[in-house]
Amino acid sequence: MSFVPDVFEPPRRLVTQEFELEPLGPEHNEDDYAAWTSSIGHIAATPGFQGGNWPRPMTLEENRRDLERHADDFAKRAGFTFTVRDPDRGPIFGCVYIYPDKDGVHDARVISWVTADRAELDGPLRDVVRAWLLDEWPFVNVDYPS
């Protein structure tokens, strides 16, 4: 079974007054790398990342390969990763990952992070993304740790 129905066109953008989301790809490499490497401790303590294998030290080239994988997943509709940035293509300060959940109960597992200097947006980002998933995505039961 595919992650999303073949007739579903995944949204490619979400814009609020505080941030915008767009598909993450290798063109974001340097800004994405700067964002997450500045906040490894904060991200590691964010719900959904505790005890995981990321964030971990990586080279810029390793990060590029990771972003290429996320872009490929998006193109294949196997998972959807979005960069979080200030509106009007401002600085990147986070990411949202939407992937199949392996527990057999949930349609999708979603995790997100923001940089430590934007920590006050962790909750608002989760709230907006939860509403977006209900309104514009074909999921019924999403696991999104908070």
Q: What is the per-residue pLDDT across 130-146, written as a single tens digit (0 to 9) for each? A: 999 999 999 999 999 98
Q: What is the mean pLDDT of residues 75-101?
A: 95
Strand 108-114 vs strand 142-143: parallel, antiparallel, or unpaired?
Answer: parallel
Q: Mark residue 78 as left, alpha or beta (left: phi above 0; alpha: psi -120 to 50; beta: remaining).
A: alpha
The domain segmentation of the chain, as residue ranges, is 19-143
**25 in helix, strand or coil?**
coil
Cα distances from 16 to residues 56, 60, 64, in angstroms, run: 30, 29, 27
pLDDT band at 120; cut points 50, 70, 90: very high
Confidence at residue 2, expressed as pLDDT on a 0 to 100 scale? 74
CA 133 to chain centre: 13
- What would the pLDDT profile of 38-48 be if each residue is shown by its tens digit? 999 999 999 99
Calculate the average pLDDT of the chain: 95
Residue among 110, 106, 121, 8 nearest 49 (CA): 110
Please determine, for residue 89, whether its predicted confidence score (pLDDT) is greater than 90: no
The rounded distance, in Å, linking the Cα atoms of 10 and 136 is 8
Q: What letter would DSSP give residue 136?
A: H
Please determine, for residue 96, whether its predicted confidence score (pLDDT) is greater than 80: yes
Confidence at residue 1, expressed as pLDDT on a 0 to 100 scale? 55
CATH for 19-143 is 3.40.630.30
Q: Which residues make Cβ contacts (< 8 Å) with residue 25, sequence separation at least 6?
A: 67, 68, 70, 71, 74
